Amino acid sequence: MEGKRKIRIINVVGARPNFMKIAPLMKEYKNYPEIKSILVHTGQHYTREMNDVFFDQLEIPRPDINLEIGSASHAVQTAEIMKRFEPVILKYKPDVVLVVGDVNSTLACALVAAKLGVKVAHVEAGLRSFDRQMPEEINRVLTDAISDYLFVTERSGLKNLKNEGFPKKKIFFVGNVMVDTLLRNLEQSKSSTILEDLKLHGKCYTVVTLHRPSNVDDPIVLGALIEVFEKISQELPIIFPAHPRTRKNIELFGFMKKISETKRRAHPASDGRLRVIDPIGYLDFLKLMASAKVVLTDSGGIQEETTILKVPCLTLRENTERPITLEIGTNKMVGTDPARILAAFHQVSENSGRRCRTPDLWDGYASKRIVEILMRN
C-alpha cells in the first residue's frame, strides 16, 4: 500500500454503551495496514466512571479527538455535536463515518457526514422498539435512513429494514459487536474481586440497573420501582450500580431515606439488602452480572449480555428493540408494575437453571465481518 492513500474511517463514540461496541472494531482495524482509523469521542459521557475506566479496561486507544460536549437537553446536545463534528470531517476527509448504537452522538455525526457526502456505516442497524416516545428510537430510525452500510445484529433487524423499503445491497447481517467484547473479556473478568469487595456469593444476589428517563425522571414510577426492589431485597440482596442521573433523582425525590431504612433492617453484619453503589468498570460489572441469580434492567445491551451469560433477565419496560432475547434468551418483559415484577422475579428465581441457545452469529466475530465488508466495498 506504500504510496497509496489509506482508507480513512472515522469512528464515533459518545456514551458508555458505545465503548463496548467500538472496542472490537478498533482491534480489528489493526489487521489492515491500509486503514487509517480515527476515533472521535463526543464527550456525551464524561466522568471517569462512565468513560476513562472503560477505555483502560477494553484497551481502546485514546480518542484522536474529544468534542467535550457534556450533558445537555437532546436538542442542544445534538446541535452542539453537529457543530463540532463538521470541522473534523472537513479536516480528515474520511471515506466512511462509522457510528454505533442509538445515542444522540450516533444520529448527530451520521447526519453531518451524510450532508457532506461522506458514506455512513451504522452498527446495530434495524433494531426497533416501535415506541417513538423513546429518544433512542428516533435516533435509530433516522440514522438508518441516511446510512450506506446497515450492519444488523439480529434477524428482526433484517425484517424491519426490509419492511421499511431499504435496498438489500445496503443491509449486512454480521452479528453483535457487543458480544465480541463480552466473549473476549469473560475470562479476564473472572479475576475481578468485586464479589469479595461487596461480600457476595455467586447466585445469591440480584443486580439492578436503571437509567431510562421514563423510569427515573418520574417520581411515581421511580418510587414504585424502589418499593418493589425493597421487597425483593428482603429475599435476595440487591446490588444497584446507579447511573449518575438515576442516583441524582433517587436523592432528589427523597428515596435514599427508604433505601437507608432497608439497610437498617438488614443483618447488622451486612452492608444492607438494597445497596446503591457507584458505577463500576466493565470487568467488575461483567463478573457481577455473570454471577447474579437474576438481573433487573431497562438497558437494551444488558438484555443481550444476559442472554449470552445465560442469566435470567427481567426488563423493566413494555417493549424492546431486541426481540431475539425474548424469543430464545433468558429475557422476560415485565414493565414497571410492582406486582408483575415481583411475580416474575419469583418465577425466574425458581427456574434460573433453564438453558437457551445462542442467537445466530453472536459468536465473537461480528467486528471481523464488518471490517471485511467495508474493505470489499
C-alpha distance from residue 61 to each of 27, 30, 106, 216, 286 (Å): 9, 11, 19, 33, 21
Contacts of 361 (CB under 8 A, 6+ apart): 173, 174, 175, 176, 369
CA–CA distance, 130 with 127 (Å, rounded to integer) = 9
CA–CA distance, 65 with 94 (Å, rounded to integer) = 14
Strand partners, 274: 238
Catalytic: 122? no
Query: Angle at which helices 219-233 and 256-265 pack, to 10 degrees?
Result: 10
Does residue 208 sit in helix, strand or coil? strand
Catalytic residue selected from 122, 211, 243, 267 = 211
Tell me which residue of 301, 298, 327 sits closest to 314, measured CA to CA. 298
> In 10 A of CB 24, how many CB atoms?
26
- Per the rule left: phi > 0, alpha: psi between -120 and 50, beta: everything else, 181 is alpha
Instruction: Give the active site residues.
Output: 211
